[in-house]
Amino acid sequence: MRTFFRLAVIATGVAVGAIGAHAQQKEWKEIRIGTEGAYPPFNNLNARKELEGFEIDYMNALCDKMKVKCTWVVQDWDGIIPALLAGKYDVIVAGMNATDERKKRVDFTTVYTRTPIAVIAAKSVASADFSPAALKGKAIGTQGSTIHANYLEKYYKDSTIRLYPTQEEANLDLENGRLDYVVADKMSLDDFLNNKGKDCCKEVGLIERDPAIHGPGTAMAVRKEDTALRDMISKAIEESLKDGSFEKVRVKWFKFAIM
Amino acid sequence: MTWCEAPGYWLGHEVLQNYGCRIASGLLVTIELVALSTTLGCAIALCIALIRLKGPAWARGAMAAYTTFFRGTPLLCQLFLIYYGLGSFRPFWQSVDLWWFFREPFYCALLAFTINTAAYQAEIFRGAIASLPRGQIEAAKALGLSRFQLLRLVVMPQALIVALRPLGNELITTIKVSAIASLVTLFDLMGATKLAFARSFDLSIYLYAAAIYLALVEIIRRVLALIEAHLTRHSATDNPHARAL
C-alpha cells in the first residue's frame, strides 16, 4: 500500500512537472485547432467526414506560413470555449466573433473576417420589414451561444426566440415551417439558400452590426496565458492580409470581400 | 428583486441571480413535461399491458413490437424522428389540421416522452400483473366477479404494490432524460442552464442544476414511500412483496 502511495505521489509530481514545463514552453511547433465542423462554408464536416471550408483552408495556409504542424479537432459549439480552457486544443478557428463577453475568458488574435448578418425567411414572406415591432409574436431561430442569440434576446423581446445546437438545425426548422425567420452570418445562410434552402427560403435583409453585441469581427481564440501563440498567429494573419495569401483562399470560397 | 432571483442573491452567486428566473421557468417546463408524459404514458401502458396479457394474438404481437421498438432505441433518436422527421411533413399535417401540434417543440417532446415511457411502464405493469398467483383470479371468478371488478378489486391493488417501486424508478429516469428536450429548443431546466452557462461560462451553474434535479428526485422518492405505506397499510409485515404474494 505504502509503495503504491509513493508511486502515486511520484506520478502526480511528474505529471504536474510536465504540465508546468509545457506552460513555460514558448516555442510552438505543433498547434491543435478546435473547430465546429457544422458551419459551412467556414468549417464543415463533409459526407466523407473530412473538414472543409474557408477557415480550414485559411488556417492550413497560416500553419504553412508559421511553419508549424497543425491538427484539427472537432468540437460542438456549446462546449467550444470550455474545451479550449480544458486544454483539448490550443486555438479556436470557428467563425467566432471577438465579443467582450468572450474576452473575459479567452484572448483573441487579430480579426480576419467581418461578415454581414442576414435575416432569412420563407419565400412567401412579402414584407422586407424585420424590425422588432414587425416580428412581434413570430418565431425566430438561430444557433444557441452565438452573438445572434444575444442580439435577438436583447432587441426582439416580443418574438419567440428558438435556440438550436447547430445552425443547420435552425435552417432545417425554417424549411419545415416551424420558424418564421432565421438570423445568422450572411455567408453561412447564403450557403443554405444556394443549396438545400433554394426552393423554400430567401434573404429578407441585413442586420446592422451592434458593436456592443457583435464585436469587431471574427478572430481566433486562445487561452489567456498563451500570449506567444496569440501574437504568432496575429502576425501571420496580418501578413496574409498583405501578401495576398488571404485573398487566394477567399476567392475559392466567396464571391465578395469578407474583410 | 423577484422571488426567483432570491436564491442567487442569498448565495452571493451573480450568475444564479441573473438567470434564476429563467432556471425557475425551466424547472416548471421540466415538471410539466414529466408530469404530463408519465401520466398519459401510464394510461397507455395499462392498456398495452392488458392487451399483452388478455388480448387476441395479433394485438399481443403488435404491442410486443411496440414495447420492443421503443425500449430498444435511444429516446434522443425517437425525439429527433418526431421533431425533425414528422415535422417535415407540414403540408400533410396542415391538411389534417394537426400542424399546431407538430409545430410546437413542447408537444413534440411530450409525444416522444409519452410513447417512450408508455413502453417501459407497460412492461412493469405486465410483469406485476403476471406475478399474481392464478388461484386469486380463479377464486374471484368463482365468486362471480365481473371482469372489471376482478381488475379493480383483486388484480390492481396487488399489482400496484409490486409495480410501485419500478414505476417510481421510471418516473425518476424520465425526469433525468427529459434534459434532452433542450436539444429541440425547449427551455426546460437543462435548456435554461445551458443558456446561463453559454452566456457566463460559469460551470458552477451546472452544479446548481444538478442540485435541483436531485431535490426533485428526492421529493418523488419520499412521496412514493408515503404511497407505498398507504397501499400496504393493511399489511402487518414490512415487506410488501411477501404480503402481496
Closest chain A residue to B90, measured at CA: A176
Lateral strand order in the sheet of A30-35? A69-74, A30-35, A91-92, A221-223, A106-108
Query: In the prediction, which pLDDT does B238 show?
Result: 56
- A26 pLDDT higher than 90: no
Residues of A in contact with B194 (CB under 8 A): 78, 144
Query: In the prediction, which pLDDT does A10 show?
Result: 57
- B69 pLDDT higher than 70: yes
Q: How sure is the predictor about A119, in pLDDT bands with cuts at 50, 70 and 90?
A: very high
Q: Computed over its alpha carbons, how large is the radius of gyration of chain A? A: 21
| Per-residue pLDDT tens over the stretch B161-198 | 999 999 999 999 999 999 999 999 999 999 999 889 88
Say what percent of chain A tops pLDDT 70.
90
- B97 pLDDT higher than 80: yes
Q: Are B196 and B27 in contact (CB under 8 A)?
A: no
Enclosing H/E stretch for B241: helix B240-244
Dihedral (CA of B178, B180, B184, B189) sign: positive
Residues, chain A: 259
Q: Are A218 and A95 in contact (CB under 8 A)?
A: yes
Contact B201 A177 (CB under 8 A): no
- A145 pLDDT higher than 90: no
Q: How far apart are CA B214 and CA B176, in angstroms?
A: 9
Which residue reads 452565438 in cell numbers? A146
Pick one of 3.40.47.10, 3.40.50.2000, 3.20.20.60, 3.40.190.10 as the CATH number of A117-213. Answer: 3.40.190.10
Contact A164 B185 (CB under 8 A): yes
Evaluate whether the domain defined by A27-114+216-253 bears CATH number 2.40.50.100. no
| Per-residue pLDDT tens over the stretch B3-22 | 899 888 898 888 899 899 99
Contact B84 A172 (CB under 8 A): yes
**Is A109 strand, coil or helix?**
coil
* Average pLDDT for chain A: 90
Using CA atoms, how far residue B52 sits from B11, B114, B136, B207, in Å, is 52, 19, 19, 43
Query: In the prediction, which pLDDT does B245 show?
Result: 43
DSSP code for A53? S
Backbone angles phi, psi at A94, to 5 degrees: -150, 45
Q: Give which of A85, A74, A63, A90 is closest to A35, Cα–Cα.
A: A74
Residues of A in contact with B198 (CB under 8 A): 78, 144-145, 149
Neighbours of A35 (CB within 10 A): 28
- State how far residue A244 is from chain B, nearest Cα, in angstroms: 36
User: Quick one: residue B164, left, alpha or beta (phi over 0 = left, psi -120 to 50 = alpha)?
Assistant: alpha
Query: In the prediction, which pLDDT does A255 show?
Result: 84
Contact B198 A162 (CB under 8 A): no
**Is A199 strand, coil or helix?**
coil
Closest chain B residue to A142, measured at CA: B185
Query: In the prediction, which pLDDT does B190 show?
Result: 94
Q: Give which of A106, A76, A58, A93 is closest to A226, Cα–Cα.
A: A106
CB pairs under 8 A between A and B: 39
Closest chain A residue to B87, measured at CA: A176
Stretch A31-48: mean pLDDT: 94
- Residue range(s) of every CATH 3.40.190.10 domain in chain A: 27-114+216-253, 117-213
* B235 against B214, higher pLDDT: B214
Q: Which of A15-24, A33-42, A47-56, B66-75 has the lowest mean pLDDT?
A: A15-24
| Per-residue pLDDT tens over the stretch B17-31 | 989 999 999 999 999
Q: How far apart are CA B45 and CA B234, in angstroms?
A: 27
Q: Are A154 and A132 in contact (CB under 8 A)?
A: no
Enclosing H/E stretch for A160: strand A160-164
Q: How sure is the predictor about B243, in pLDDT bands with cuts at 50, 70 and 90?
A: very low
- State how far residue A143 is from chain B, nearest Cα, in angstroms: 10
DSSP code for A28? -
Q: Give which of A144, A173, A136 is closest to B193, Cα–Cα.
A: A144
Stated pTM of the model: 0.82
Asked if B201 reaches chain A (Cβ–Cβ under 8 Å), the answer is yes
Using CA atoms, how far residue A110 sits from A107, A221, B5, in Å, is 10, 10, 39
| Per-residue pLDDT tens over the stretch A184-240 | 999 899 999 999 999 999 999 999 988 889 989 999 999 999 999 999 999 999 999
Stretch B227-236: mean pLDDT: 81
Residue A81: which of B90, B194, B201 has the nearest Cβ?
Answer: B201
Pick one of 1.10.3720.10, 3.30.565.10, 3.40.50.280, 1.20.120.1200 as the CATH number of B3-244. Answer: 1.10.3720.10
Stretch B44-51: mean pLDDT: 95
- State how far residue A38 is from chain B, nearest Cα, in angstroms: 15
Reported ipTM: 0.82
Q: Computed over its alpha carbons, how large is the radius of gyration of chain B? A: 22
Mutation test of the interface with chain B: which of A173, A179, A199, A223, choosing the one with the most B Cβ atoms within 10 A? A173
Residues of A in contact with B105 (CB under 8 A): 162, 178
Residues of B in contact with A213 (CB under 8 A): none
Residues of B in contact with A149 (CB under 8 A): 198
Reported in sequence order, the residue ranges of chain B that DSSP labels E, i.e. its strands, are: none
Query: In the prediction, which pLDDT does A8 show?
Result: 60
Q: How far apart are CA A242 and CA A249, in angstroms?
A: 13
Say what percent of chain B tops pLDDT 70.
96
Query: In the prediction, which pLDDT does B234 show?
Result: 79
Mutation test of the interface with chain A: which of B83, B99, B185, choosing the one with the most A Cβ atoms within 10 A? B185
Residues of A in contact with B19 (CB under 8 A): none
Q: Are A214 and A115 in contact (CB under 8 A)?
A: no
Stretch A51-66: mean pLDDT: 96
Contact B199 A101 (CB under 8 A): yes
Q: Are A166 and A38 in contact (CB under 8 A)?
A: yes
Residues 6+ apart with CB under 8 A from B13: B204, B208
Q: Which of A2-16, A83-97, A170-184, B121-135 has the lowest mean pLDDT?
A: A2-16
Q: Are B224 and B123 in contact (CB under 8 A)?
A: no
Asked if A179 reaches chain B (Cβ–Cβ under 8 Å), the answer is no
Q: How far apart are CA A48 and CA A103, in angstroms?
A: 35
* Average pLDDT for chain B: 91
